[in-house]
Amino acid sequence: MNKITIGIPKALLYYKYKDLWINFLEELGCEVIVSPNTNKQILEDGVKFSMDEACLAMKIYLGHIYYLIDKCDYILVPRIKCIKKHEKLCTNFSALYDLVNNVFDKNLIHYNLDVEHKEDELYAFTTMGLTLGFPYRKIVRAYQNAKEKEKFLKERRISKQKSLLASSNKIKILLAGHPYNLYDEFIGKQIEKILEENHIDIIYSDQYDDKYLETEVKEISPKNYWTYNKEIIASIVHYQDVVDGIILMTSFPCGPDSLSNEMIIRNVKIPITNLIIDEGDANTGLLTRIESFIDILEERRKAR
C-alpha cells in the first residue's frame, strides 16, 4: 500500500503545532509535505482567494493551501475553537476548516479542538487518525510519542534562548507576536533580517516557559481571555527585565491584537514599538522605524 501523503500549509497554526502534527503523522506512517516558505507567488495566490478584509496571515494561509492542492492526498486544516476553558481564540481559527472547504473543495483532514465541548487534544488526534483509517491503539501511542517529542523540542529551544540571554552582551530585542507572524518569510523574517544586519540579538516571545503564565499575564492585563494573546503578554512580562526593547509585531488588520497591543504598549516598562505589516512590498518605512528604534536602545545603553 502506498503511504498516505498529508500536506500541511506552512502558515498560521503550523508554527504552533508543527512538532505535534508532523511527528504524529509520521509515527502513523504517513508522508508529510510542508509547503515552502511564503514567497511572492504564494502571497499573490492567497490575496486572490481571500476577501479584502482578511488579515495578512490569513491571506498567506490560503496561498499555501493553493500551493498544496494536487500535491498530496489530504491537506490538514485545523478547526480550533477553544483550547482553554472560558477563553477565546480569533474566530478565524474556528472558521478556517469550513472556509478552506468552501473556497477549494478538496480533500481536507480535520483537527477539531474545542475543550468547552469535550473535544480535547486526544479527541482531535483520535478523530484525525480514525478518519485516515488507523487503529485506535496505534493512534493513541503515536499521539503520546509526538507529545513527548514536542515537549523535548520546546524545552531545548527555551534553554537555547536562555543561554543566549546569559552569554551575549549585544543589544537584545524581544520580537513579540503570534508565531505565524514571527516566523513567516514575508512578515517576521524581513524584520529579523534587518535586526541581524544591525547585530542585534533576537529573543522570541513564543520561546517561553508558560509555567507562571497566569500570574505573569496579570501584570499587564488582569482580565484577558484571548488565549494566544495571553501567551504573548505573559512572555513580555517574563522577558522585559532582561531585554533592551520590544518590537511588537502585528499583521494587518488583526482584531485581538488591536486590543491587546494597546494594553501592552501602555503598561510595559521598557521601550516598545509596534510594527504593523500589510501586503504592501515597500519596507522603507519598516527600515526607518527599526533603525531609529535601535538608535534609541543604543543611546539608552550609553546613558546608563
Partner 1 sequence: MNAYLGIDIGSISTKGVIIDEENHILASSYLWTKGNPIEAVKQLIKELKKQVCTKNLSIIGVGTTGSARKLIGTMLNANIIKNEITAHAVGTLSLYPDVKTIFEIGGQDSKIILIENGIVVDYAMNTLCAAGTGAFLSSQATRLGVPVEEFGKIALTSKNPTKIAARCTVFAESDLVHKAQMGYQKADIIAGLCKSVVANYLNNVGKGKKIKAPIIFQGGVSKNIGVKKAFEEEVGCEVIVDQNGHLMGALGIAILSKKAPIKTNFQFSITEDQFETRGIECNRCSNHCEIICVSKNKKLIDAWGNRCSNGDIMSKQR
Among positions 15, 49, 134, 252, the unique one binding partner 1 when judged by CB under 8 A:
252
Q: Does 291 engage in binding with partner 1 (CB under 8 A)?
A: yes
What would the grid cell of residue 69 be? 492542492
Quick one: DSSP state of residue 254?
-
Query: If binding is defined by CB under 8 A, does position 41 make contact with partner 1?
Result: yes
Task: Locate 76 and state its grid cell.
Answer: 490538514
Q: How far is the CB of 299 from partner 1 (least distance, A)?
A: 4
Site string for partner 1, 164-203 (x = CB under 8 A): --------------------------x-------------
Give the nearer residue to partner 1 in terms of CB position, either 86 or 266. 266
Question: Phi and psi for 230 in degrees, rounded to 5?
Answer: -60, -40
The only residue of 91, 168, 258, 288 in contact with partner 1, by rule CB under 8 A: 288
**Nearer Cβ to partner 1 (17/66):** 66
Single out the segment in contact with partner 1 by CB under 8 A; choices: 39-47, 114-122, 152-160, 208-216: 39-47
Question: Can you tell me the distance from the alpha carbon of 278 to that of 264, in angstroms, rounded to the nearest whole number?
Answer: 21
182 burial (CB, 10 Å; 0-12 / 13-18 / 19+) is buried
Could you say whether residue 132 binds partner 1 (CB under 8 A)? Answer: no
Whole-angstrom distance, CA of residue 174 vs CA of residue 218: 19
| 291's grid cell | 533603525
- Give 82 or 220: the residue with its C-beta nearer to partner 1: 220
Cell numbers linked to 100: 478552506
Question: Which pairing describes strands 31-34 and 5-8: parallel, antiparallel, or unpaired?
Answer: parallel
Q: How many CB atoms lie within 10 A of CB 84?
A: 12
101 vs 283, beta carbon nearer partner 1: 283
Picking from 272, 253, 252, 276, the residue whose alpha carbon sits closest to that of residue 264 is: 272
Segment near partner 1 (CB under 8 A); pick from 19-27, 34-42, 84-92, 131-139: 34-42
Size of the site for partner 1 (CB under 8 A): 24
Query: Scanning the structure block, which residue is given the C-alpha cell 483550547?
Result: 83
The residues that touch partner 1, with contacts defined as CB under 8 A, are: 39-42, 190, 252, 265-266, 271, 276, 278, 284-285, 287-289, 291-293, 295-296, 299-300, 303
